[in-house]
Amino acid sequence: MNFLEIAEAVFFMLELYLNRPNELELRNVADMPAPVGDEVKIQFRYGGICGSDLRVYQGKLAHAAYPLRPGHELVGTIIEAGEEASYAVGTRVVILPNTYCGECEWCLKGKTNICQYKKSLGVNINGGFSEHLVISSKYVLPIPEDLPFERAVLIEPFAVVVHALKKVKIEKDTTVAIFGCGNEGMLAAALTHHMGAKVTAIDINAAKLELVKSLGDIRAVKPEEVQGESFDVVIEAAGTKITVEQGIELVKAGGDMILIGFAPEANLPVMRVVRGELTLHGTIIYNFPADFAQTIEYLRDPSFKVGPIVSKTLSLANYQEAYDMALSGNYGKIVFDLRKASTEA
């Protein structure tokens, strides 16, 4: 290795950068500084592309800020630690990508997920589709040694589902309908099936229906195939007006509907909700660290089948192919391998 190669390895890193909607760039930038205080410097292993990453990329998320580095589903290893950091060098960690103040009304009630001062990595502050990141150690959680990174990369998106399902009772033979077989919908199908429910996954995309069936004994159908049926719990994970409206019609009297998707609005059949004593649950992200800890325990269980949810792992150099695949709607989770970020395809 010559002097220039040594200098590049020590002082520079690669990052993906979103200059404005639909304009991504892979660039060499100065490496992150040494951590101070409670900070840690993390060398990333994997980063997953999320639906919100796609909305930020397309300019469809109102509170997104530009330019910025995208990415928030992140796992890696601490390579440097400040003198007050909570964890030591060598600790494998998952990132909490949403900040919280700890002082507002909601934080004091333990609801850090709706902190009024919350900021989100890759949305309105720089994220982690890069080789390294320096962050306060209060925003990381250790990953057990028996949980491989390949499963651990699902901790953050899966925690959304774990948090949501705490709002309802799922037990053996509970009937569950899930609208939308994107990443959150597939994770919801995997977990409710694992919990013993009778799961029906609903989507208009035949490829997604085939993928969700690979998770276990899950009925996978198109929306028109469930007309007239009813379910104890309906989970809306597609984020569209029509799926919210159809979903409410499928909830049994006394049943529950969980709204995970981001439908801007929908018509609500108030009389049906009132007379049937239906309960609608809004849910957003998760509470940290409790929901992450529970998620990790599910993922540590080898009988819990989630492998098929990750469809493809690509180098950061193949960022456009990765985003195009994720945007196509024909795949499960697309993941970046950030270990050896390279400008070579």
105 and 26 co-located in one domain: yes
37 and 124 co-located in one domain: yes
Q: DSSP code of 35?
A: P
Query: What is the reported pLDDT for 339?
Result: 85
Give tens-digit pLDDT for 139-189.
999 999 999 999 999 999 999 999 999 999 999 999 999 999 999 999 999
Q: CA-based angle 289:90:147, to the nearest 5?
A: 55
Query: What is the reported pLDDT for 340?
Result: 65
Rounded Cα distance, 118 and 92, in Å: 25
Q: How many residues would you count in the chain?
A: 345
73 and 31 co-located in one domain: yes
Give tens-digit pLDDT for 215-272.
999 999 999 999 999 999 999 999 999 999 999 999 999 999 999 999 999 999 999 9
- Paired with 4 in beta bridges are none
Rounded Cα distance, 141 and 95, in Å: 7
Contact 16, 70 (CB under 8 A): yes
Phi-psi region of 216 (alpha: psi -120 to 50; beta: other; left: phi over 0): left
Q: Output the domain CATH number for residue 75.
A: 3.90.180.10
Residue 162 inside a domain? The answer is no
Residue 290 inside a domain? The answer is yes
Q: Does 40 have pLDDT greater than 90?
A: yes
The three state secondary structure string of 190-244 is HHHHHCCCEEEEECCCHHHHHHHHCCCCCEEECHHHHCCCCEEEEEECCCCHHHH
User: Nearest to residue 157, comparing CAs of 342, 327, 333?
Assistant: 333
**What global pTM score does this model have?**
0.94
129 and 142 co-located in one domain: yes
E strands, the chain, are: 12-20, 23-30, 39-48, 73-81, 92-95, 132-136, 140-142, 175-179, 198-202, 219-221, 231-236, 251-259, 279-282, 310-315, 333-337
Domain around 177 = 168-282
Number of domains within the chain: 2
Residue 277 inside a domain? The answer is yes
258, 282, 306 — which closes off a domain?
Answer: 282
Contact 249, 74 (CB under 8 A): no
